[in-house]
Structure 1
Amino acid sequence: MAKKKRREIVSDDVPLTSNPFAGLAGALGPLPEGPPVEAEPAPPEPRPKPAAPASARVIVRRQKKGQGGKAATFVEGLAAEQRTTMLAALKRELGCSGRIEGEAVVLGTKDHARVARWFEAAGVGQVVLGN
């Protein structure tokens, strides 16, 4: 198949003479005053960290079994009523996925040391770091 021939565009260097919107500029008239603009919006309030788990011991371990070959971090020892709030806070802080499996919180990260540091900063009494 042969290459298509390009059409040559010839210009006489004359600017466009037709402007269909030129007549609309004066048709509107003056615009009404808008609402006053604030100088700077207030910074967002920092989210409070969830309360430390009721249990004084949390086990953080890394596991590949049953995860399709991917490493996941399991957090055990949380009270039943605090699993969902801790899961939401951990997902937001660590930027990873997560779910609740039985009595464990499963996070989609293999950085279990970072999860343990987060629990220590939250005020958990004893954080046990597994494999």
Structure 2
Amino acid sequence: GLHIPESYLTALVQTACRKQGWPLDRSTLYTSVTTFLNEDQVEARPEMGCYVCGLYLEGARWDPTRGCLARSLPKVLIEELPVLYIIPIESHRVQLQNTLRTPVYTTSQRRNAMGVGLVFEADLSTAEHSSHWILQGVC
């Protein structure tokens, strides 16, 4: 794992901005949940961005058949998320309809020893209004 994932993601955006000629202050990260259930299924490196595995979802689960968030199964609080594709993109191109911006933390305690926890926000598709998932405490 990465000790300072924020730095890696910042470098990812900076590299894409230099390569594409985008202004850095108008760029952001967009995420997409892939169909890969684990890193062994990934056969090639993406042209831009990166794949991330080992993330968990609390308070909901990912439904691979519908491609969106679903209610947790009874007595299951935490579920592993499929491989996530993180893509640097120009901010004005981000479309977040039917999407929940979910915080991604370094640990389940939502902070590390230095008191820092939020790494980035993942964009997860949802069939329900985002307020439903926020009230469920999804993260």
Q: TM (normalized to structure 2)?
A: 0.24
Q: Which has the larger radius of gyration?
A: 1
Q: TM (normalized to structure 1)?
A: 0.25
